[in-house]
Amino acid sequence: MSTPDTWFDATVIGIRNLTPTVKEFRLQYPLALRLAPGAHIDVQVAIDGQTAMRSYSVVRSDANGQIVIAVKQVQGSRGGSRYMASLTLGSTLKASAPVSNFEPVYGPHHYLLLAAGIGVTPMLSVARALVAQGASLQMLYAVRSKDEQAYLPDLQDLLGERLRVFSADRNERLDVAAEINALAESAQLYLCGPIKLLDAAREHWQAAGRHAAQLRYETFGSSGRYLPQDFTVRVPRLGREILVDAGQSMLDALSEAGIAMVSNCRRGECGLCAVDVLETDGVLDHRDVFFSSREHAGGNRICTCVSRVAGTSITIEPPWRGDPDLSHTTVL
Amino acid sequence: MTPRPTFPLNAWYVAAWDAEVGRSLLSRSICNEQMVLYRKQDGRAVALADACWHRLVPLSLGTLVGDDVRCGYHGMRFNADGRCTHMPSQETINPSACVKSFPVVERHRFVWVWPGDPALADPATVPDLHWMDDADWAGDGSMVEVKADYRLVLDNLMDLTHETFVHSSSIGNEALAEAPFEAMHGETTASVRRWVLNEEAPAFWGAQLGKPGPVDRWQIIHFKAPATILLDVGVAPAGSGAPQGDRSQGISMWVIHIPTPATDKTCYYFWCHLRNYRVREQRLTREVLQAARGILLEDETIIEAQQRAMDRNPGRDFYNLNIDAGSLWARRLIDELIDKELAEKPAVHSIPIIPAAKALRA
């Protein structure tokens, strides 16, 4: 993902509460846009007077230029969902054309769609496209509780018996490993949900010797294992200590403090913003998909755009090393 | 405003002859989509977007590794679905990394691709060219790259009056240009039928028939939108019953012409001549192929000159004559397909845009 070329003024023309924590927004674009299954839009959100970008999957679109997205109010959010919650009917926001990195590749193989929580949003259009193709598919939908099952009626209408719902409050456990083991070798898994689920599925998929390209997943880097909290980044090489507050990314805090950083995707995919970890008094809350589980376990590096520390401080080595003295090549 | 497209994207187009696609990387532009074509180890043909996800270098400059294409720049690998299977210097693969994979069908000795919405690609809609696979019909063809809008090639074929003037030494004669014709159309097809009765055969046909005397000659042109033309052509001794349906004394050819748009002003012109006489004579196959090459070169020369003249005369429309009826029906059928796509996919470029970087800083 890179920054979109074009921003449209989209007007909020409908808001509805899907669950106690999920709000649906109907956006009117100035013109109709073509979109592929699995598409998302980027929107500009204002957080503490700063403009940031967030990605939301398109749940539905109409030929008249209306696009529907759903946003979960996340406790300890970095501010994107708080901004979205502040929108009212008639509000306008800068939104990109829809882009899909999650469009299904059509084929005769079986598809398993696995969504958890707000991860259901990209699955709706993917499921509709696969049903229209007459594909063999099944969908598993894990929810926290009966109150938190957004779009369940839509999915039931679309999929009938092919949908299975697992509700944590009813002690219905989704056994990702068993579901993967039950798949034919040619099957494809499409996955969207919290990082814990992504990690578990990725790890088991690999352990089971399955083809990496047959596992498709999407993450906007928004969930971790721990609630976001304030922590301090120590940069001894530069003699700096920088506070990262709970609503801010480490990357932004470092950049704003004048520590030069490079980054691109801002959702834990590309690895450009990763830094070396020297020490921490807490636990690294890896929220990226760039590092492997082995690398996460090693704890030597962290993706600063999405990952955090569950603790009070982390000590890092910044990309800055000063200009080398090439007469003493051992410096490098 | 975006200029109006000249071709629909939701259609099957011939990207290559079957024998052109193998265990190497073939680059083709189909409807302005740069594609790389190759075969998997099981023989199945694949078409991917010919630009690496990473830094856009053409994948066709890379190499095949098993069923994957490896970019020749940094070694990113993509499978036949366009999914990335290897990234250098990291243990994981970016989940967004992919190149577009185009639906492919191999049928009637051609590799067909679908440049539009893959969800709409139905192999049942590949034009029927079953003579290409039929042992009762012998022949071969080739492909020529023409520097002209593919519709100029279609125009050329939908009115064979031009044979009299462009191909006077082989298949054209005066009688042809003066014979009456009928133009017809259906939902997705347009046809032009012309019979020349009891006239001398032109040189090529006289030699093929090998019988003296005047002939009844038919030319039945079938267009299937957006870019397939089948010519049902032949001669029979005059009065032997061909116009009434008995072609047994004569000889027939199915001549297949498919100009696939490469860009707005260039095309790959695929063609093949199939005959139902002396089908076991491979020498004749070669002779017809060579004769056809000469005839096609005459067409190419005229059509490319026409395109250059059009470029020198922007805004000048054609004057259409009675003889252009077939071409006008063909163009209308193409326009209907384009209109349908435009209705579903409105232009996104017609409103003011703000560069993202500027907007973000604002």
Selection from A138, A202, A189 nearest residue A166 by Cα: A138
B41 — contact with chain A (CB < 8 Å)? no
CB contacts of B99 in chain A (<8 Å) are none
B124 — contact with chain A (CB < 8 Å)? no
**Residue A311, domain CATH:** 3.10.20.30
Do B193 and B284 belong together in one domain? Answer: yes
Name the pLDDT band for A48 (thresholds 50, 70, 90).
confident
**Residue B147, domain CATH:** 3.90.380.10
Do A73 and A35 belong together in one domain? Answer: yes
Point out the domain boundary residue: B124, B158, B181.
B124
Whether residue B348 and residue A97 make contact (CB cut-off 8 A), yes or no, is yes
- Domains contained in chain B, number: 2
Whether A104 is covered by a domain: the verdict is: no
Which single residue is written with the structure tokens 């074009």? A6
Do B99 and B168 belong together in one domain? Answer: no
Point out the domain boundary residue: A194, A218, A242.
A218
**Residue B20, domain CATH:** 2.102.10.10
A11-25, A188-202, B125-139: least confidently modelled range: A188-202
CB contacts of A271 in chain B (<8 Å) are 90
In order along its 362 residues, chain B shows pLDDT tens digits of 578 999 999 999 999 999 999 999 999 999 999 999 999 999 999 999 999 999 999 999 999 999 999 999 999 999 999 999 999 999 999 998 999 999 999 999 999 999 999 999 999 999 999 999 999 999 999 999 999 999 999 999 998 888 888 888 778 778 878 888 999 999 999 999 999 999 999 888 999 999 999 999 999 999 999 999 999 999 999 999 999 999 999 999 999 999 999 999 999 999 999 999 999 999 999 999 999 999 999 999 999 999 999 999 998 989 988 889 999 999 999 999 999 998 876 444 333 333 333 334 33
Q: Which of A51, A103, A109, A130 to mutate to test the interface with B (most CBs of B within 10 A)?
A: A103
Do A94 and A115 belong together in one domain? Answer: no
CA of B344 to nearest chain A CA: how many angstroms apart?
A: 7
Facing B359 at nearest CB: one of A37, A94, A129: A94
Whether B232 is covered by a domain: the verdict is: yes
Do B61 and B150 belong together in one domain? Answer: no
Instruction: Find the closest chain A residue to B98 by CA distance.
Output: A101
- Provide the residue type at A306 as one letter: V
Could you tell me where the beta strands, DSSP code E, fall in chain A?
Answer: 7-17, 22-28, 39-47, 50-61, 66-72, 92-96, 99-100, 111-116, 137-143, 163-167, 188-192, 215-218, 231-235, 240-244, 274-280, 283-285, 301-303, 308-310, 313-317
Per-residue pLDDT, A67: 96
Point out the domain boundary residue: A185, A218, A251.
A218
Q: Which of A8, A189, A272, A290 to mutate to test the interface with B (most CBs of B within 10 A)?
A: A290
Whether residue B359 and residue A7 make contact (CB cut-off 8 A), yes or no, is yes
Per-residue pLDDT, A69: 97
Do B224 and B108 belong together in one domain? Answer: no
Collect all residues with Cβ–Cβ distance below 8 Å to B50 and sequence separation of at least 6. B27, B34, B35, B36, B58, B59, B60
Per-residue pLDDT, B178: 82
Do B46 and B95 belong together in one domain? Answer: yes
Selection from B95, B97, B117, B108 nearest residue B8 by Cα: B117
Per-residue pLDDT, A76: 64
List all residues of chain B from 160 to 189 with a beta carbon under 8 Å from chain A. Answer: none
Whether B305 is covered by a domain: the verdict is: yes
Whether B2 is covered by a domain: the verdict is: no
Do B87 and B136 belong together in one domain? Answer: no
With 0-12 / 13-18 / 19 or more C-beta atoms within 10 angstroms meaning exposed / middle / buried, residue B233 is buried
Do B91 and B136 belong together in one domain? Answer: no
Token pair recorded at residue B161? 């009056």
What domain range includes position A19? 7-99
Do A122 and A51 belong together in one domain? Answer: no
Q: Which of B1, B92, B344 to mutate to test the interface with A (most CBs of A within 10 A)?
A: B92
Per-residue pLDDT, B360: 40
CA of B327 to nearest chain A CA: how many angstroms apart?
A: 31
Whether residue B103 and residue A31 make contact (CB cut-off 8 A), yes or no, is no
Do A117 and A213 belong together in one domain? Answer: yes
Instruction: Find the closest chain A residue to B79 by CA distance.
Output: A213
CB B360 within 8 A of CB A44: yes
Do A68 and A117 belong together in one domain? Answer: no
Do B120 and B137 belong together in one domain? Answer: no
- Domains contained in chain A, number: 3
**Residue A50, domain CATH:** 2.40.30.10
Question: For A231-241, how does the pLDDT look when each residue is reduced to its tens digit (9 = 90+)?
Answer: 999 999 999 99
Is pLDDT at A279 greater than 70 in this prediction?
Answer: yes
Whether A224 is covered by a domain: the verdict is: no
Whether residue A34 and residue B92 make contact (CB cut-off 8 A), yes or no, is no
Q: Which of A2, A29, A31 to mutate to test the interface with B (most CBs of B within 10 A)?
A: A31
Q: Which of B77, B79, B360 to mutate to test the interface with A (most CBs of A within 10 A)?
A: B360
Do A87 and A145 belong together in one domain? Answer: no
Token pair recorded at residue B282? 């491979």
CB contacts of B84 in chain A (<8 Å) are 213
Do B37 and B141 belong together in one domain? Answer: no
Whether residue A106 and residue B103 make contact (CB cut-off 8 A), yes or no, is yes
Is pLDDT at A114 greater than 70 in this prediction?
Answer: yes
Whether residue B353 and residue A291 make contact (CB cut-off 8 A), yes or no, is no
Whether A213 is covered by a domain: the verdict is: yes
Residue B360 has, within 13 A of its CA and on its CB side, a CA count of 14
B356 — contact with chain A (CB < 8 Å)? yes
B19 — contact with chain A (CB < 8 Å)? no
Whether A311 is covered by a domain: the verdict is: yes
Name the pLDDT band for A34 (thresholds 50, 70, 90).
confident
CA of B86 to nearest chain A CA: how many angstroms apart?
A: 9
Whether A285 is covered by a domain: the verdict is: yes
CA of B45 to nearest chain A CA: how many angstroms apart?
A: 14
- Cα separation of B119 and B122, whole Å? 8
Do A146 and A92 belong together in one domain? Answer: no
CA of B101 to nearest chain A CA: how many angstroms apart?
A: 8
User: What is the maximal distance between C-alpha atoms in chain A?
Assistant: 72
Whether A80 is covered by a domain: the verdict is: yes
Do B255 and B333 belong together in one domain? Answer: yes
Point out the domain boundary residue: B98, B124, B150.
B124
Give this complex's ipTM: 0.86
Do B259 and B191 belong together in one domain? Answer: yes
Do B31 and B91 belong together in one domain? Answer: yes
What domain range includes position B255? 132-341
Point out the domain boundary residue: A218, A243, A278.
A218
Do A82 and A163 belong together in one domain? Answer: no
CB A314 within 8 A of CB A231: yes
- Cα separation of A234 and A236, whole Å? 6
Per-residue pLDDT, A329: 65
Whether A1 is covered by a domain: the verdict is: no
Facing A213 at nearest CB: one of B79, B119, B360: B79
CB B121 within 8 A of CB B103: yes
Whether A106 is covered by a domain: the verdict is: no
Per-residue pLDDT, B348: 44
